[in-house]
Every structure is written in C-alpha cells, then in structure tokens.
Amino acid sequence: MLEPQFESALAHRQSPDNLSISMREISERGMIDLRGLSSDKKFMSAVKSVMGFDLPKVPRTSASWGDMKALWLSTDQWLILCTRSKTNALLAELNTALGKIHSLAVDVSDMRAIIRIEGDGVCETLMKGSSLDLIGPDYKAGTVRRMRFAEIAALLHIVEENVIDIYVFRSYAEYTWAFLTKAARKGSEVKLFRG
C-alpha cells in the first residue's frame, strides 16, 4: 500500500526575506485535545501515569516533559503536544488509562496550523493584531493564551523569550501567514518602551 501523502496547511509557503522577524510553519507536531475535570483526581492521575507529569492547573500556563507538552486551555481542557508520529500511540495510551473516567481525548493534529515566529520584536508584531499587552508582565516563557488575533481566533504559546508559536484553525493558516507577513515587514517595526 502506498504511503499516504501528507500536506500541511502552509506546505507551499516560504518565509519572505523582507521580514524583521523569522517565521515558519511547524507541521511535525502532534496535538491531542484532552477534556476532563481538573477536580477529578482519578482523571488527573490517569493522565499523569501516561504523560509522566501533572497537567497544569493554573490558567494560561503549560507544563512539559521530554518531547511532550500540555497547554492549559480551560479548567477542563488541555492541548497535549507531542511528536506527530507518536500521536496515535499516545492517544491510545491515554484512552486506555482513562477507561471509564469521564473524559474526551481527540486527535486534533490537523485541526490547527502552527506558525513559529522568532526574534526581537515578535510581541510588538503580534500587538498589531492583538489587544493584549504581550510585552507586559503577564506574558513570560510558558504562557498560553487564547485570543482574538487580527480578525480570527488564535492560540498563543510563548515558547521562550522572543519565540512564540501561534496556533490557528487550519482554514485560517493562509490568512494568518499573510497578516504576519504584512505586520512583520521590515521598516514597519514598532518597539515599545525601549527608552
């Protein structure tokens, strides 16, 4: 049987060279949407038994272990990140461990496109389309935030200082790419509170 053809949302896009920050698609990441009650000890420990770490309970934070990460989405929802090729196995393990515990784990690896932006000024670039104070004290490495970005819904994950992953629904990948291409254009940089 033939190997299935894989084509990510931005497979045909290359980062333009006139940008003040760098920008690329991350397509090798697997994602699992996990629902369960953080107040349910059985749920939390079942997940820990598979993941090796506690799901984060503090809003807008993330936790990680090895190549796995868990992003807090809500009081009963997390986005689990892993290597794409390991997603099926991880999902199966989670479902086995969770058994009859009230929960819902779904492979959503293809539901969102991820764009990584890097470099000095990434926050200010995003602030051309987001009303959040991304240069403020609430936004540090590990922060996760769902937000309205430009005209669409997006999820932002601050990987480390000046490295941000933006998750958008796959159908909006081109729109997001085009917006960032425009916002990050060289010569249009805005630096806030730099003295």
Partner 1 sequence: MLIVTCPVCKASGDETDFHYGGQAHVRRPATSDPVNITNEEQRDYLFIRHNPKGLHFERWRCDRGCGKWFHAARDTVTMDFKATYGITELPPVELMKEAKGPWAEFFKNRLKEKA
Partner 2 sequence: MSKTPYRLATGGTRIDRARKVTFTFDGKDVSGFAGDTLASAVLASGQKIFGRSFKYHRARGLVGLGSEEMNALIGVGSGNSHEPNLRATQIEIFDGLNATSQNRWPSLKYDIGAINAKFSRFLPAGFYYKTFMWPKSFWKHVYEPIIRRAAGLGKAPEGRDPNTYEHMHIHADVTIIGGGLAGLAAAEAAASTGVKVLLCDENPVLGGIADLTAGTIEGDCVVDYANAVAARLATLPNVHILTRTTVVGHFHHNYLMAFERVGDHDPAILASGAPKHRLWKIRADKVVVATGALERPIAFANNDRPNIMLASAVRAMVGRYGVSPGSAGVVFTNNDDAYLTAFALQKAGVNVQVVDSRSRPDGALVKRAIADGIDVSVGSVISAVDGSHGVTSVKIAAYRKGQGRVITEKKVECDFIAMSGGWNPALHIWCHNGGKIQFDDGLQSFRPKSHTDNIIAIGAANGTMSVEATLHEALALGKKAKALKVQEPDRGALESLWFAPATGKYNEGNKHFIDFQNDVTAADLELAQREGYESVEHTKRYTTFGMATDQGKTSNLNGLGVLSEATGKTIPEIGVTTFRPPYTPYSFGSIAGSLTNDLFLPVRRTPIFQWHSEHGAVFEPVGQWRRSYTYPQASESKHEAINREILCVRTKVGLLDASTLGKIEIKGPDAAEFLDRIYTNTYSTLKVGKCRYGLMMNELGFLTDDGVTVRLADDHYLMHTTSGGADRIAAWLEEWLQTEWTQYKVFVTPVTEQWGQFAVAGPHARVVLAKLSPDFDISNEAFPHMSFKQGHLGGYPVRVFRISFSGELSYEVATPANFGQGLWNALMEAGDEFGLSAYGTEALHVLRAEKGYIVVGDESDGTVTPIDVGLEGMVSKKKADFIGKRSLEQSFLKGPNRKQLVGLLTEDPTEVLPDGAYAVAQVKDKPPMELIGQVTSSYMSPTLGRSIAMALIQNGRARMGEVISFPLEGGKVIKATITDTVFYDKEGGRLHA
- Which residues of this chain interact with partner 1, rule CB under 8 A? 59-60, 73-75, 77, 131-132, 145-148, 153
- Spell out, one character per residue from 1 to 40, where the chain touches partner 2: x when CB under 8 A holds, - when not: xxxxxxxxx--x-----x--------x-----x-xx----
65 binds, among partner 1, partner 2, none (CB under 5 to 8 A by kind): none
89 binds, among partner 1, partner 2, none (CB under 5 to 8 A by kind): none
Task: State how far Cα 71 lies from the chain centre.
Answer: 8
Regarding 170 and contact with partner 2 (CB under 8 A), the answer is yes
User: How far is 32 from 182, CA to CA, in rounded Å?
Assistant: 31
CA dist 164 and 142 (Å) reads 10
Residue 83: CB minimum distance to partner 1, A: 27
x/- mask, partner 2, residues 65-104, rule CB under 8 A, reads: -----------x-------------------------xxx
5: DSSP letter: P
Q: Return the number of the residue (45 or 88) whose C-beta is nearest partner 2.
A: 88
Helix count and strand count (H, E) for the chain: 4, 10
34 φψ region: left (φ > 0), alpha (ψ -120 to 50), beta (else): beta
Q: In whole angstroms, what is the distance from residue 132 CA to residue 125 CA? A: 12
- Please report the sign of the dihedral spanned by the C-alpha atoms of residue 79, residue 83, residue 84, residue 89: negative
Q: Which is nearer to partner 2, 66 or 153 (CB)?
A: 153
Beta bridge partners of 83: 29
The binding site for partner 2 (CB under 8 A) comprises 1-9, 12, 18, 27, 33, 35-36, 76, 102-104, 106-112, 124, 127-133, 136, 150-152, 169-175, 178-179, 182-183, 185-188, 190, 192-195
